[in-house]
Amino acid sequence: MSLHRGDSGDFSEHLPVTRQAVAKHLGVLGRVGLVHAAPSGRERRYEVDKAQLACAVQQLSSVGAAWDARLQRIRRIAETIQREQG
């Protein structure tokens, strides 16, 4: 099994969750376009949409950077208050 293609059974062999849990999560990922499913006999084969994943990574990085900036501002404010009180 490659890291970007497989069925829920393939993935569940490598994860500490049930096949049903993996299938549920893959369904959610499919609804948001991060994976695509294709029938393969009685199984459904999933493949990562690399472009969509790259877009999601970029968006999450942007959100993370914004939160980092906010937390730094809060830290500076807290340090200023602490200096003024001490």
Q: Under a CB-based contact definition with an 8 Å cutoff, are residues 17 and 2 in contact?
A: no
Rounded Cα distance, 44 and 12, in Å: 14
Residues in the chain: 86
pLDDT number for residue 1: 40
Q: What is the pLDDT along the chain (86 residues), one digit of tens a residue?
A: 444 567 777 777 888 888 889 889 999 999 999 999 999 898 888 999 999 999 999 999 999 999 999 999 999 999 999 999 97
DSSP per-residue letters across 61-80:
HHHHHHHHHHHHHHHHHHHH
CA distance 76 to 52: 36
Contacts by 70-78, CB closer than 8 A, 24 or more apart = none
